[in-house]
Chain A
């Protein structure tokens, strides 16, 4: 069992990655990810880990550098946020198509404009279709655990896909939290050496990222889609193994007091903890409220979502991003589409909230439940609303 310590989450993520025997990291600092970049750089400069820290001039270069390094067989890591992630965008589908198991932390932050450095999910949502495994964490302990596990998932021979771990900026990255940090020996035992599916080496020349025309492109996209869907089995295996080793069990969809609930709420990321307190307050008042937390965003856990929502009458889906001019928030449209063919499905309400770091208190979550319960004629179902916006 690792030591119980208190540390800033971003620094702890860098410490955790430092335990993973990485060969290289190329990280361009950007608020609120900067402390990951700085601390990883310290670990290399102080000789605490034997890795290359490539000081790149941009996030586009950072992702290019980790793609190249991963292609040579190096365990490669990067981290970014917001505009940096947007700047990496064109390279993300290339990393997944080349099946390079790069691991990346995203300190989620609002995308400009206007410029805003605070937390929401508007940076990761435009990357949804990049073909990466995408995981959301709720607290610092999860950020550490998922960062370490991401290497094992990504590098598994049946996966070979890049993984991003989404850590809410400031609300998680800059918190000082108590957690258990696994020891170097524990991580060494957990994480096998990286065995690449192919490497760039002069003695055995290969071409990676070659050209493909219309006669092959669809087959390549199909293969990538199947690979991402099939990765779920490995993700569950790795999470189960972690649970046995460290006692912290993770599931793609977690539930809290849903068994007899009349109304459920679905959250993704750090807001789950506040929403959980709201559930307790509502339960104390006799309201049968329950919570569903979505941890795995890609591959989307369709079967698990259907299973936990099958008895719900009303469901509140919360989103920290909006698809402008579309059906609502991205989580909402995903959940709604998952339930479309089900014989029994809940009425769904969508609240877009916590944008650009807007504080969300327990009363905001209880307020959502109260609003939905007051909608006895179901007028507001199947629509979306900006929660708390000034009219």
Chain B
């Protein structure tokens, strides 16, 4: 998404398209990403419940993964995961 110049901004920066926040990929903020170890995961869904970004999804096989377009890498999922199935890995 090309960044607008100051002249192209709508007056008062009014956002007129509902739901346009999804176009902003907060994943660009991330320095670490969550990686699930599915052999330890018990599919309890605690990570899904605690994710403040709402970006963790459950796959058809019942395991979880984060949508990296929006995951900020906060690490709350890894902190809350009591079977320790999630580790935070440095982004390259």
Contact = CB atoms under 8 A, between A and B. Distances in A.
Contacts of B3: 215-216, 219
A210 B23 CA distance: 14
A206 B13 contact: no
B15 A99 contact: no
Q: Chain A contact residues: over half helix, strand or loop, or mixed?
A: loop
Contacts of A100: 12
Report the contact-size class of chain B (Cβ under 8 Å from the partner): 10 to 19
B59 interface: no
A222 B14 contact: no
Interface string A93-109: 00001111000000000
A222 B6 contact: yes
Given A205-B18, A206-B16, A220 B11 contact: no
Interface in A207-228: 207-210, 212, 215-216, 218-220, 222-223, 226
A206 B14 contact: yes
Given A205-B18, A216-B3, A98 B9 contact: no
B6 A223 contact: yes
Contacts of A219: 3-6, 9
Nearest to B4: A219
A160 B13 CA distance: 12
Contacts of A215: 3
Interface in A185-212: 197-198, 205-210, 212
Nearest to A221: B6
A98 B5 CA distance: 18
Nearest to A158: B11
Nearest to A96: B12
Contacts of B11: 99, 160, 197-198
6 contacts: A97-B13, A197-B11, A198-B14, A206-B15, A212-B13, A220-B13
